[in-house]
Amino acid sequence: MRILGLDPGLAATGWGVIDARANRLSHVANGVVRTKSGLSLARRLAQIDAGLADVIGRYLPAAAAVEETFVNRNPASALKLGQARGVVLVAASRAGLEVAEYSPNVIKKTVVGAGHAAKEQIGLMVRLLLPGSDAAGTDAADALAVAICHAHHRETAARVAAALS
């Protein structure tokens, strides 16, 4: 299954595409959708939507996974991040993708083994789990981690469902 991992952000939305076959993962592509800071919020959100539509059309994922928003001390920043996250969810859903959501701690625990792992640890584990991935920055590495997390959780859920039937 081809999985699109997404790390929402207003300035930079990371994306990563992996293929998951049984318990084997392989890197397909990754990148960042960047917005222009001088534009209105609406225009920036439209840039995210258009960028993700291009990524989805190019790589044709079957599922998407999105990092949930953590609570921010700055209410204005949290609101803008939430709006960017909403666009990410709509873009994936509009494309007909199954969309899963994971908290940052679940993603870190799944990929690194510790729920409070540092960004450097995430990047290292992404490189170990997806040789040759060479993420286009921390946002793309985080998005690949989201995709890896979904692959593992989806596989586990499938095994549990098979055992129960």
Report the SS3 class of residue 20. strand
Q: What span, in angstroms and rounded, lies between the C-alpha atoms of 1 and 120? A: 27
Query: What separation in angstroms does the CA of 100 have from each of 60, 88, 93, 158, 165?
Result: 17, 12, 10, 14, 23
Q: What span, in angstroms and rounded, lies between the C-alpha atoms of 20 and 4? A: 11
Amino acid at 82: G
Q: What span, in angstroms and rounded, lies between the C-alpha atoms of 60 and 86? A: 21
HSE (CB half, 13 Å, CA atoms) of 69?
A: 22
Q: What span, in angstroms and rounded, lies between the C-alpha atoms of 147 and 93? A: 16
| Number of CB atoms found within 10 A of residue 1's CB | 14
Active-site positions?
7, 67, 139
